[in-house]
Structure formats: structure tokens, C-alpha cells
Amino acid sequence: MTTDQSTATRPLPTTSLRKTALIAGLLYLLTFVSIPTLALYGSVHDPNYILGPGPDAPVLVGGVLEVIVALAGIGTAVVLFPVLKRQNEGVALGLVGSRVLEAAGILAGVACLLSIVSLRQTGAGTGALATGQTLAVLYDRIFLLSQSLMPVVNDLLLGFLLYQSRLVPRVLPLLAFIGAPLLLASWIGVLFGLWGQRSPLTALAALPVALFEFSLGVDLTVKDFKPSPITADMV
């Protein structure tokens, strides 16, 4: 085999830009690990959960999954920041800030559920029922802010940056522009009691945003950023 043939068969080195896209993509996919929490948290919303039998493991596992989501969410914005700031540093910094706020809300919600578990494990009794129910309601209210409202802000900022920079196929940020207003409308409906937080309508309104983030995760994982003027001098 000649030297030229040997060189031709070698894989091209992974550039730092490709590593950025890959890590961001994997982190976006990681944010979907909390999907099972809807089932895992079913028992903790029972008004008599503190007094009832059964394991606490599902709630604890759900809490761990949500912590992972919170950290992965911050990671997506931090990893993409060096690239996105070349398009608009202020908006890119806003994305990091909104992701941090979202993560803080997620962690606060997990703390509420872990407190309910602690009340149960310590045998707090009937006197703590009202406290447990209050913590469960507080989790729902925090969820409404952190995981229903903040994704609207996140995806509008990210969609704007991706649309302007053309780093990914244009259809992806368009999904964000469609999904964010739908999610906001759903959030307003839940806030004013027009429909429930766990209603099919609420779940349906969240689908476009979920599709945007999942598709973005897959695209960045299996592909590189598309050629763009803002990455022309990056390697």
C-alpha cells in the first residue's frame, strides 16, 4: 500500500467544532431521561401518600432523573455558548441564564418531593398530611414555571440564534418558533384553570417543543454544524 493510499484510508480527525456539536447533541438527548417521572411520581400525588404503604424508590429515582435533566440543560447552553455568541453574544448569554433559571426551578421541585418522602420515612403521621399535600402542590406550581414556561424562553432564544446562523437545517428553528407559542398558550390555560396541568391538551401542546429539542439533539449527535460564516475560522 502506498503512502497516499494509507493516508486516504485514515479517518479525519475530529475537530473541536464537531466535538462541540456532538456533546451538545448528547446533552439534549439526555434531557429526555425524565420522561418516566410522570409514572414514577404517580403515588406521591396521593393526598395520603405519607401514611400509605409502598416503596419510596420510584420517587427517589424520579428525583435523580430530574437532577440529571437540570444539569444537562445547563450543559447544552454552556457547550453551545462559544459558537452561538459569534452570532449574538447577548442572546447567547440570555440562553445560558434562562437554562440556569430552569434548572434552579427543577431542583427546587425535586426538593419538595424529597421532603414529602422524608416526612413519610420519619413517620410524621396525620399531622403532616397538610404539609405533604402543600409540598405536592408546590411541586406542580414550580413545574409550571420551570418546565412549562422556561422552555418557551429557551427555545425562542435558541431558535433565533440557530435560524440566524444557519448552523442546523432551517426546519429545526422553525419548529421552535411554532412550538414555543403553543406551549405558552398552554401555560396560560393551565395558569388560569382552563384545563389541567396533566390534561391531554397540555401534553399535545408540548409536543412541537419536544420534537424540536429531540430532533436538534439527534442532528447535532450524528452530524456536524452546517457551514456558516460564524464558524468559518473555527477548527
Determine the pLDDT at residue 191. 95
For 86-95, what is the mean pLDDT?
Answer: 97
For 179-186, what is the mean pLDDT?
Answer: 97
The percentage of residues in the chain with a pLDDT greater than 70, rounded to a whole number, is 94
To which residue does cell 419510596 refer? 56
CA 20 and chain centroid, separation? 18
Q: Is the pLDDT of residue 10 over 80?
A: no
Q: What is the DSSP string of the chain?
A: --HHHHHHHSPPPPPHHHHHHHHHHHHHHHGGGGTTHHHHTTGGGSTTTTTS-S-SHHHHHHHHHHHHHHHHHHHHHHHHHHHHHHHHHHHHHHHHHHHHHHHHHHHHHHHHHHHHHHHHHTT--GGGHHHHHHHHHHHHHHHIIIIIIHHHHHHHHHHHHHHHHT-S-THHHHHHHHHHHHHHHHHHHHHTTSS-TTSHHHHHHHHHHHHHHHHHHHHHHHSPPPP-GGGTT--
Q: Is the pLDDT of residue 86 over 70?
A: yes
Question: Which range, of 35-39, 51-55, 204-208, averages the lowest pLDDT?
Answer: 51-55
More confident residue, 6 or 187: 187
Determine the pLDDT at residue 185. 97
Is residue 24 a contact partner of residue 209, using CB atoms and an 8 Å limit? Answer: no
Per-residue pLDDT tens over the stretch 53-70: 888 999 999 999 999 999
Determine the pLDDT at residue 235. 59
Is residue 110 a contact partner of residue 63, using CB atoms and an 8 Å limit? Answer: yes
The percentage of residues in the chain with a pLDDT greater than 90, rounded to a whole number, is 82
Q: Is the pLDDT of residue 8 over 60?
A: no
Q: Is the pLDDT of residue 12 over 90?
A: no
pTM: 0.90
For 126-139, what is the mean pLDDT?
Answer: 93
Q: What is the DSSP string of 41-66?
A: TTGGGSTTTTTS-S-SHHHHHHHHHH
Q: Is the pLDDT of residue 147 over 90?
A: yes
Determine the pLDDT at residue 14. 57
